[in-house]
Amino acid sequence: MEASHWLPVVFICLMGLALFIYAILDGYDLGVGILLPLKEDKQQQRDIMIASIGPFWDANETWLVLAVGILLIAFPDAYNFILAELYIPATLMLLGIILRGVAFDFRTKATTGHRPLWDRSFKFGSLLMALSQGYMLGQYVMGFQHDTGSVIFSIISALCVTAAYAFVGGGWLVMKTQGELQITAARLTRIAAWLTALGIFLVSAVNPLVSENVSDRWFTFPQFFVLFPIPLLCAGLFIYVDRYLAHFPHANDFACWSPFSSAVTIFFLSFQGLAYSFYPYVIPGKLDIWQAASSEESLMFIFYGVIVVVPFILLYTAFSYRVFWGKARKLEYY
C-alpha cells in the first residue's frame, strides 16, 4: 500500500484520538468550572473544586493543541475551510481559554475579597469554551450550513455539549471529593447526565436526516444489527448513573469512580458513532481525507515526529494522574 494512501488514515486517527482525549480531560475540568457555585458562603467548596483540577487542567489542553496542529499540517485545506466557517466561535473559544488561564492564576494569589471575582471569571470562561465547542460541533454535523434550522440546531448542540462537560466534570467531583461537596456534585451530575442523553439523542436523530450517506450507514442491513448495541449500551450507562446517583452517598464511597468512568465510556461510544458516520470525510460530504491531505513528503516528515512526541505526552499524562491520584485537598500557594 502506498504511503499516500495510509498516511492520511493514520493522521485522521491520531486527530480523532487527540480530540477524544481532550474531550475527556479538558472536558471534566471545563465541567468543574461550569459547576462552580457562586454563593458567597461556598468559597471553601470552590477552593476544593479548583484544587481537584489544579495539577491537570493546563496540561489537558495539550491535546487540543495537538489536534489543531494535526489538522493544520496534515489537512491544510480542511483547516482553512473550517476556520473560515467557524471563525467567530473559534475566536470566542480562544477568549475563554485566555480568561480561564488568567482567572486560575490570579485567584490563587488574590486577597480573599477579590477571589470570588476570579472564580466568576473562571466559570464564565469555562462556559464560553463549552458553548463555543458545542456550537462548532453542531455546525459540523449540519455540514456548515447557516440557515435558520442549522443555527437553531447548533445552539441546542452548544447547550447539550455544555451539559456533557458538566456531566463528566460532576463525575470527576464525585470521584475526587467528599462530604457535602460530593453530595452536591452527585445531584448536579444526575441532572447533567439526562441533558447529555437528550443531546446525544438529538444528534443521533438529526444526523441521518441531513445526510443520506449517514442514514444508509446506520439503517441498512447488516450494519444495523452490528451498530445497534452502541445506543443500547449508552442508554444502559445513563440508567446506571441515574440509579447510582439517586441513592447517593453509598457506604465506604462504594464505586465513586463509576459515574466518571461511565461518562468516559459514553463519550467514547459517541465518538465512535461520529467517526463511523463521517469517515472518510474530514469535511462532511465535501472533502475526504485524501483530498485534504498534505503532500506525501510532508506527511512522512511529521509522521516521524508524531511517533516520538505522542508516546511522551501519553506517558507524562499517565504519570501526572498517578502522582496526584486520590481525594482533592485545598490548593494553596505560599
State pLDDT tens for residues 95-135. Answer: 999 999 899 888 877 666 678 889 999 999 999 999 999 99
Q: Which residues contact 85 (CB under 8 A, 6 or more apart)?
A: 139, 144
Position 266, amino acid: I
Highest mean pLDDT among 73-77, 213-217, 250-254, 314-318: 73-77
The neighbouring-strand residues paired with 288 are 281
Find out whether the peptide bond into 249 is cis, omega within 30 degrees of 0: yes
Q: Helix-strand-coil percent breakdown of the chain, rounded to 5?
A: 80, 0, 15
* Grid cell for residue 330: 485545598
- Tell me what the mean pLDDT of segment 2-17 comes to: 89
pLDDT-derived band at 330 (thresholds 50, 70, 90) equals low
The predicted structure's pLDDT at residue 225:
74
What confidence tier does 331 reach under pLDDT thresholds 50, 70, 90?
Answer: low
**17-36 pLDDT, tens digit each:** 999 999 999 999 999 999 99
Confidence of residue 75 (pLDDT cuts 50, 70, 90): very high
- What number of other Cβ atoms are within 10 A of residue 5's Cβ? 12
Q: Answer whether residue 252 shows pLDDT above 90.
A: no
- The pLDDT, as a whole number, for residue 78 is 92
Q: Looking at residue 214, what is its pLDDT?
A: 73
Mean pLDDT, the chain, integer: 88
This prediction has a pTM of 0.92
Give residue limits of the domains in the chain: 7-323
Alpha-carbon distance 46 to 50, whole Å? 6
Cα 82 to its chain centre, rounded Å, is 18
Instruction: Give pLDDT, residue 1.
Output: 63
pLDDT digits (tens, 9 = 90+) for 131-187: 999 999 989 988 888 888 889 889 999 999 999 999 999 999 999 998 899 999 999
Give the pLDDT band of residue 334 (cuts 50, 70, 90): very low
Helix (H) or strand (E) holding 281, with range, is: strand 281-283
How many residues belong to the chain? Answer: 334
| Full DSSP string of 92-139 | HHHHHHHHHHHHHHHHHHS-TTTHHHHHHHHHHHHHHHHHHHHHHHHH
Q: Give residue 110's pLDDT.
A: 66
Instruction: Compute the chain's Rg from CA coordinates.
Output: 20
Q: What percent of the chain has pLDDT over 90?
A: 49
For domain 7-323, the question of CATH label 2.60.120 is answered with no
Is the predicted pLDDT of residue 244 greater than 90, yes or no? yes
Q: Are 85 and 144 in contact (CB under 8 A)?
A: yes
Average pLDDT for residues 214-231, to the nearest whole number?
Answer: 77
Q: How confident is the model at residue 333 (pLDDT cuts 50, 70, 90)?
A: very low
Q: What angle do CA 161, 29, 206 make, to 5 degrees?
A: 10
Cell, residue 202: 438529538
Asked if pLDDT for residue 278 goes beyond 90, the answer is no
Q: What is the pLDDT of residue 36?
A: 93
